[in-house]
Amino acid sequence: MYFLGIIWNPNETLFNLGPIQIKYYNLLWIIAFAIGWYLMKKIFVNEKKPVEQLDSLFVYTVLGTMLGARLGHVFFYDWPYYKNHLLEILLPIRESDTGSLLFGLIDGYEFTGFTGLASHGATIGIIIATYLFTRKHAGFSMLWIFDRLTIPVAIGAFCVRLGNFFNSEINGKTVDESFIFATKFIRDSDDLHPSKALGVTKERTLNAAYDAIESDPQFSQYLMEIPYRHPAQLYEGVCYIFVFVLLYFLYWKTDKKNKPGYLFGLFLILLWTVRFFVEFVKKSQGGFEESLGLLSTGQWLSIPFIILGLYFMFRPVKSN
């Protein structure tokens, strides 16, 4: 990777298993959950909590994260589309003129994976999942879990944004080529629609078409027309690494974990403040920002979490 004019054109699919595509994005989600389980196991052992109950918490968290992230995207960002495509809300498919699902048993769809996920929805999903877990398992409070769960969630957020970068999605606004992090996302469908890439190159697959746009001189005009953009996913992801390091340090090296809600509040403030400011260089993701104006959908959704974080971080806690 080079500074000053990065051309970013990765094949986001690692390999195919029949009609199923295994993508970097999916792999990074798996890595995020694996790291999360490992970190939480260390915490459970450190605080002498039953490790076998971690498996149950893990299942609740995974389901809450994925369902919350998916439904958050559907209702916060793209309800006008999904209200007419209800089947696609909880299935990793997309309506297509040429695609098929389940080896041709259902025509008119293609397997895409869950590419529409919203972090605000994931946060809500985790909160609900934790509440349900504590209702079933005695000996755990929601704040105890939140204060510790923030550590793996922070590094997981980095993995997700790295996955977005590989997918060339959630890109930033246009920027001058001379900007040090300027990135040309060849696979950004807003800048070069897949149908146009196939049409001008006459290639049979999208990967071949995008590669031709990048490397074949006869298509240099189309390459030049693709604007440079902020790699907003990397800005956000790198900041999340610092959030993770700080929370990890505070948990293991200080007594902040003993103040219920402190680490959780700090996490909410840091994570959503990062999101709020990165939104200024991120291109619009849709949603309700046109009706409210001034701020983006992501910024409006971040404000309540920041306020909630301030409450938990600075609220008075009765000493035992």
Residue in 30, 123, 28 with CA at minimum distance from that of residue 76:
123
Across the strands, what pairs with 229?
174, 183
Distance of CA 7 to the CA centre of its chain: 22
Q: How far apart are the first and last CA of the chain?
A: 54
Coil, strand, or helix at residue 206? helix
**Look-up: residue for tokens 């697959």?**
205
Structure tokens at 12: 């986001």
Across the strands, what pairs with 184?
7
Residue in 228, 200, 55, 212 with CA at minimum distance from that of residue 133:
55
Residue 161, annotated as binding a ligand: yes
Give every CB contact of residue 71 below 8 A, 6+ residues apart in sequence.
89, 121, 125
Structure tokens at 310: 């301030």
Residue in 119, 108, 128, 115 with CA at minimum distance from that of residue 89:
115
Give every CB contact of residue 190 below 8 A, 6+ residues apart in sequence.
283
Across the strands, what pairs with 6?
183
Residue set of the binding site: 161
